[in-house]
Chains A and B, each alone.
Chain A
Amino acid sequence: MNTTIMLFLLQDGITNGAIYALLGLALVLVFAVTRVILIPQGEFVTYGALTYASLAAGQMPGTAKLALALGIGAFAFDLFAARKALHGRLVLRSVLTNVVLPAIVLALTVHYAAQKPPVAVCIALSLVIVAMIGLFLYRIAFQPLAHTSVLVLLIASVGVHLALQGLGLLFFGAEGQRGPAVLSGSFTAGALRFTGQSITVYGITIAFIVGLWLFFGLTLYGKALRATAVNRLGARLVGIRTTLSGQIAFLLASVIGALSGIMIVPITTLYYDSGFLIGLKGFVAAIIGGLVSYPLTAVAALFVGIVEAFSSFYASNYKEVIVFMLLIPVLLLRSLAAPAVEEEKD
């Protein structure tokens, strides 16, 4: 192997690793706040990517309709939960966020899909659609189970993953799609060629990590989210609703997932079920970070990306095997280093 190949592989690994880092951070966030291991994260990736690609190709994505359907479901859940103390403001707010908003987005999607909208519009619509799906899924599938054990939440999570994957096949078909590059053009530095797309990946990843850091460090809602993760009862005792924190966490996770998808789909052809494997690599990083540490997760994600790049060069058939094998020594070390964590009491 010469230096040029090594640099190429490193570059490739870091580009992928940046995306795994974003996904891993979202997984850690959702787990810390809601104790949900977010298996459907991968579906947020494919939904974002394929919605974007469909819109750019002038097709109507089914996800916009799904968002409205889930919104109506979420509205029904809100009504049922508040049945003993219904009041106008509550109903109005629920209708606006759960029904009116997705209906407007659906109308916009129908309007734009027919006329091959510009890239920026495609991105905005895809992000909003997937963000709403994430938010409504939390309301329907996870909020009613919020007080149950991690295991029950995990089962619900697997169920949501399977359902979304099936719906993905229905919406986008079995054919893979590619989307237009967010930023075209490229430049070379030495032997390396940087495409506009890879620059976009670095830029957005760094911007997002800095943004999250500022959000958690400086804003009241960011701190409230951290507080919920640190001590759920303590957070409730100062008036922070667990459901509010859960909503913010799911909103962030679905936006991060969709954004990752939009960044990948110009580079790689994505299928309705590609997201799972991508999400799983974010998961490997999150596990290496112990599902608690953000910096460790980000570093581990870059490592996963680089290992993947090198193993696809040397033994491409065993690429996934090698990446997932990383987990075994990590889990072994962790189990030796830390005493077993007991299932939470609450």
Chain B
Amino acid sequence: MSALLSVTDAHVSYGKVEAVRSVSLEVGQNQIVTIVGANGAGKTTLLSAIMGVFPLKGRVAFAGQDLSRLDIEDRVAMGLGLVPEHRELFVTMNVEDNLELGAFRIERSKAKASMERVYTLFPRLKERRKQFAGTLSGGEQQMLAMGRALMGEPKLLMLDEPSLGLAPIIVADIFRIVTELRAAGVSVLLVEQNAQAALKIADQAYVMELGEFVLSGKASDIAANERVAASYLGFQHEGASVI
């Protein structure tokens, strides 16, 4: 089976600074793939560039189609969804309007059912549906950002640091929902600083350092890797190199 998303030899630059160098990755159908790495490794940049927010040199194909000439909006229509690090919600609009706009590219008849699904996934959002997005707590905002992206019925959902700044109990909730999404047929590309949690639910994993992938493989193997454990999981093995 061919991969849903395949990125080949990708480079992303800010002016003269190359933030991502020669990166290749694949996300298969019904897979959770995670990219772990320290702050500033280029994970967010890579994710944004796959979505089309920054120009990317290299090849990005989604469902067998080349994305290089497509705008963000076209990529959304094809079934690519991004929940960005800063969430980018419509803060002066209520929860329901935010969700409704998530389905901007979807037939209106389907949008109602989508909204019910999102409310089932995130009951908290239903309670707060008339509240302004800007007045929600951090966790609720993260749920709304995910819900809004899901309204567009993505085949691949890209999550950028969904656990950032959230209480552990909410983080657990969000990771549980990510696995539920996989069961419902949505593939997930997850960028996380919380490598331990991410590796636990992921199928495949890539480790990113200074703009490059230094390791890749099955998530369970990566989690067992001593160097990764030392650098990202907070366990110190005897003699492990610390970067």
Interfacial chain B residues near A226, Cβ < 8 Å = 90, 92-93
Q: Which residues of chain B have C-beta atoms less than 8 A from A239's C-beta? A: 72-73, 76-77, 104-105, 152
Evaluate contact between A237 and B100: CB separation under 8 angstroms. no
Bound form: Cα–Cα A90–B108 in Å: 24
B238 at the interface (CB under 8 A from A): no
The verdict on A85 contacting chain B, using a C-beta distance below 8 Å, is yes
Q: Which of A238-278 contact B (CB under 8 A)?
A: 238-241
| Contact A237-B69, Cβ < 8 Å, known A230-B91, A230-B92, A231-B88 | no
In the complex, B101 has a CB within 8 A of chain A: yes
In the complex, which residues 36-67 of chain A have their Cβ closer than 8 Å to any Cβ of chain B? Answer: none
B residues in contact with A231, CB < 8 Å: 88-91
A235 to B152, CA, bound (A): 12
The A-B contact count (CB < 8 A) is 69
* Size category of the binding interface on chain B: 20 to 34
B82 CB within 8 Å of chain A: yes
* Cβ–Cβ < 8 Å partners of A240 in chain B: 73, 101, 104
Q: CB-nearest residue of chain B relative to A233?
A: B88
Q: Closest residue to B151 on the A side, CB-wise?
A: A238
**Interface: A223 (CB within 8 A):** yes
Near A by CB (< 8 A), chain B positions 72-124 give 72-73, 76-77, 81-82, 84, 87-93, 97, 100-105, 108
B101 close to A227 (CB less than 8 A): yes
Q: Could you tell me the distance between the alpha carbons of A85 and B74 in the complex, rounded to whole angstroms? A: 13
CB distance from B90 to the nearest CB of A (A): 5
Q: Identify A237's interface contact among B88, B92, B93, CB under 8 A.
A: B88
A33 within 8 A of B: no
Asked if B149 is at the interface of the complex by the 8 Å CB criterion, the answer is yes
- Considering the complex, give the chain B residue whose CB is closest to the CB of A234: B88
**B90 contacts A236, C-beta separation under 8 Å:** no
Whether B91 lies near A238 (C-beta < 8 A) is no
- B43 to chain A minimum Cβ distance, whole angstroms, is 18
Q: Which residues of B contact A333 (CB under 8 A)?
A: none
In the complex, what residues of B have CB within 8 A of residue A84's CB?
A: 69
Task: Tell me the minimal C-beta distance from B70 to chain A in angstroms.
Answer: 9
Chain A hits for B240, CB < 8 A: none
For the complex, what is the distance from the CA of A234 to the CA of B92, rounded to whole Å? Answer: 13
A220 contacts partner chain B, Cβ-Cβ < 8 Å: yes
A123 at the interface (CB under 8 A from B): no
- Residue A224 CB within 8 A of the other chain: yes
**Which of B73, B100, B108, B152 counts the most A-chain CB atoms under 10 A from its CB?**
B73
Please indicate which of the listed interface residues A230, A235, A241 has the most CB atoms of chain B within 10 Å of its own CB.
A230
Q: Which of A223, A227, A230, A233 contacts B84 (CB 8 A)?
A: A233
Is there a chain A Cβ closer than 8 Å to B53's Cβ? yes
How many Å lie between the Cα of A230 and that of B81 in the bound state? 20
Return B149 CB to nearest CB of chain A, in Å: 7
Cβ–Cβ < 8 Å partners of A227 in chain B: 90, 93, 101
Q: Which of B73, B89, B91, B97 contacts A236 (CB 8 A)?
A: B73
With beta carbons under 8 angstroms apart, the residue of B53, B92, B101 that contacts A224 is B101
When the two chains form the complex, which single residue of B87, B108, B152 contacts A238, counting CB atoms closer than 8 Å? Answer: B152
Q: Tell me, yes or no, whether B51 is within 8 Å of chain A by CB.
A: yes
Verify A238–B89 contact, CB threshold 8 A. Answer: no
Given A231-B91, A239-B104, 6 other A-B contacts at CB below 8 A? A233-B88, A234-B87, A234-B89, A234-B90, A237-B81, A240-B104
Question: What are 25 sample pairs from A and B whose C-beta atoms fall under 8 A apart?
Answer: A85-B69, A220-B100, A223-B101, A224-B101, A226-B90, A226-B92, A226-B93, A230-B93, A233-B84, A233-B88, A234-B89, A234-B90, A237-B51, A237-B72, A237-B76, A237-B82, A238-B76, A238-B103, A238-B104, A238-B148, A239-B72, A239-B77, A239-B104, A240-B104, A241-B71
Residues of B within 8 A of A (CB): 51, 53, 69, 71-73, 76-77, 81-82, 84, 87-93, 97, 100-105, 108, 148-149, 151-152
